[in-house]
A and B are shown apart, each in its own frame.
Chain A
Amino acid sequence: MLIPNTTDRDTGGFFAAAAEGRLVYRACDDCGAALHPPTACCPHCGGENTSWHDAQGTGTLHSWTTIHQSVHPEYTAPYTLVLVTLDDTPEVRLMGRIDGEPELEPGMTMQVWFETVADGVVLPQWRPA
């Protein structure tokens, strides 16, 4: 596994919440815009006050690819990368990985789950609901 940097000043809150089993996104306190990938400043209103908000943890499948040829020794083909748009915050689209070649349909409902990948390091993952 490649382990994510969980202490980045702009994105660390995402992984801190995941370690507690929560899916969160960063949003602007001034105009309410969701900011993903997370930033500490808002490109929509110029605001510099942001905070993390809980997402409900369901989404729709936007796109996917099944990897048939491994390009990194830690990630063995076949596996499938999924892109999921959050139902309650469509500005946020997140990645997940499913082993093998699952049967998938565009727009299908996806459910978050949490995968522990190292001590205290958790990735939100997605599977068909």
Chain B
Amino acid sequence: MIDDDIAFAGRDRCAVAGIGQTEFSRDSGRSVLSLAVEASRKALADAGLDVSDVDGIVRCEQDTVTPYSLAAALGASNLAYWADTGPGGVAPCMMMGLAMGAVLSGQAKTVLAFRSLNGRSEARLGSGDQRTAGQRVGGFGTYDEFYLPYGLISAGQTFALMARRHMIEYGTTAEHMGAVALACRAAANRTPHAQMGSRAMTMDDYLASRMISSPLRLFDYCLESDGACAVVITSAERARDLPRHPVLIRAVAGGAPPDLRPGMMFPVTTREDMTDLGGRRAADALWRRAGVGPSEVDIAQLYDCFTVSVILQLEAFGFCGRGEGGPFVASGAIRHDGSLPINTGGGHLSEGYVHGMNHIVQAVRQLRGEADMQIPDAELCLCTGGPLPVGSSVLFRRA
């Protein structure tokens, strides 16, 4: 055990009381607002609560659905607290912190946290910036003027530069990244609702997939998806009186890397050590606040926008040493029968990309014992948030 962080008053005092999700697809045929309503209604029904109980809504700043629109569409007229967090996939873990803060400070009793996107049929996240030729780009603190004019457009290209650097420094290989893709695919193959649920993948399939932005191949990329997820957070005390077995929020923590640079995603490439993540600092705080260390974690839902981000986060959160992420994943440790099963619903790579929120839902399923690919006797599940430019994390515990 690591020393307690006495400044963190939230340990085990809040819980996820309900979860909900829509179908994950390539084309929902519906608005993001209607997706958010469906996921929220399901989460409330799961929690045994009524829409009139909702007094708080938190969201990702990139969501086009605002808390007020969702409240209006749900008929949640008791809305009294709302907040946005981010950036992007960092948001879901930070949402757990916002919800906890609202509940523990008395600003809300029942907080909905959601993410809704038509990430395939409407706003493809992998497309990056799509402004037209001749248009001025960057400035105003974005620092995009140093990158977009060169043709650095997307997150995949940025992670490709990080992956190459990790290969140069530590000898990480394509097969290492393939091991992450295969672990997620194998989990999806045991998860009926996963978008890749019925499609197997071998290492040969992985290596044969077309190069997109070297060294990253098609199967290093997550699935741009349409879909929504929502969870209901309330006090642990109240959750005990609700129908579902509560899953406690043991601790939350965000973190910035030691060499943080201004701007959003692209300036990560200017860090002296661009494969070190803010997640390392988040992990330091998380383990301290939780009073446990990485060796006590049963399952991890690691933010897998790309395979390489899993390797980097395994290092950042202390499951292996710096540079050892490749051999760690190749050892089989991350498979369902390994020492640290990851992304047990298939993750962003093979279940669907709901920008980190489906990882939260999957963590709750595992700790309730109702996942499709259930890991036996799981008590602690880590979730991490999008690794750039800062990192986030939440540790859930079975009550």
- Write the residues of chain A forming the contact surface with B, with a CB cutoff of 8 angstroms: 1-8, 10-11, 14-15, 36-37, 39, 62-69, 71-75, 79, 81, 83, 90-97, 106, 117-118, 123
Contacts and interface: CB of A to CB of B under 8 A. Distances in A.
B165 interface: yes
21 contacts: A4-B146, A7-B139, A8-B138, A11-B146, A14-B146, A37-B146, A64-B164, A67-B151, A67-B157, A68-B211, A68-B212, A71-B154, A71-B157, A72-B128, A75-B151, A81-B150, A91-B272, A95-B147, A95-B152, A95-B269, A118-B134
A62 B128 CA distance: 23
B137 A65 contact: no
A71 B124 CA distance: 11
Given A3-B136, A93-B270, A65 B149 contact: no
Given A63-B168, A66-B213, A2 B135 contact: yes
A41 B153 CA distance: 28
Contacts of A2: 129, 131, 133, 135, 137, 148-149
B133 A74 contact: yes
A68 B216 CA distance: 10
Contacts of B272: 90-91
Contacts of B168: 63, 106
Given A4-B148, A5-B138, A83-B269, 19 more contacts: A1-B149, A4-B139, A4-B146, A4-B149, A5-B137, A8-B139, A14-B146, A36-B270, A37-B261, A39-B262, A63-B274, A66-B214, A69-B212, A71-B126, A72-B129, A74-B133, A74-B151, A81-B150, A106-B168
B356 to A, nearest CB: 22
Nearest to B145: A4
Contacts of A66: 211, 213-214
A64 B161 contact: yes
Lowest 6 A-B CB distances belong to which pairs?
Answer: A5-B139, A8-B139, A75-B151, A4-B145, A65-B160, A63-B165
A90 B212 CA distance: 30
B338 interface: no
B325 interface: no
Interface in B163-219: 164-165, 168, 210-216
Contacts of B214: 65-66, 68
B105 interface: no
A11 B137 CA distance: 13
B137 A69 contact: no
B130 interface: yes
Contacts of A6: 145
A11 B127 CA distance: 26
A74 to B, nearest CB: 5
Of A68, A71, A75, A92, most buried by chain B (CB within 10 Å of CB) is A71
A65 B129 CA distance: 18
Contacts of B262: 37, 39
Given A3-B135, A39-B262, A65 B157 contact: yes
B29 interface: no
Tell me which of B128, B139, B154 has the highest count of chain A C-beta atoms within 10 A of its own C-beta. Answer: B139
Given A65-B213, A92-B270, A72 B145 contact: no
Nearest to A80: B214
Nearest to B162: A63
A75 B210 CA distance: 19
Contacts of A97: 150-151
A67 B213 contact: yes
Nearest to B169: A106
Interface string B315-345: 0000000000000000000000000000000
A63 B269 CA distance: 9
A37 B263 contact: yes
A88 to B, nearest CB: 16
A92 B261 CA distance: 11
